[in-house]
Amino acid sequence: MNNMFELRGWVERGFDTRMVVDEHTMETPTHKVDCYKNRVALEIEWNNKDPFYEAKSRQVVY
């Protein structure tokens, strides 16, 4: 699925962040987001262990 976004100009991107309290600055690194474009960030997750997914998959009749 990430490839579909990459073909449309979305890129993986990390961000440099920091927290400042009074005069004390702390770096707060973040993980990379899957897809970033024009100030919009998307994080794509797939969890096939989700209870809703499991319940629905058991209802499939073959």
pLDDT one digit per residue (tens) for the chain, 62 residues: 668 888 999 999 988 889 999 999 999 887 888 899 999 998 887 766 656 655 555 555 54
Task: Please answer whether residues 35 and 44 qualify as being in contact, where contact means their C-beta atoms are separated by less than 8 angstroms.
Answer: yes
Q: What is the pLDDT of residue 25?
A: 95
Report how far residue 35's alpha carbon sits from residue 12's, in angstroms, rounded to the nearest whole number. 5
Report how far residue 50's alpha carbon sits from residue 62's, in angstroms, rounded to the nearest whole number. 22
Q: What is the DSSP-derived secondary structure letter of residue 38?
A: T
pTM: 0.55
Q: Residue 54 pairs with which residues in a beta bridge?
A: none
Place of tokens 């400042």: 20
User: Domain spans of the chain?
Assistant: 2-58
Q: What is the pLDDT of residue 62?
A: 47
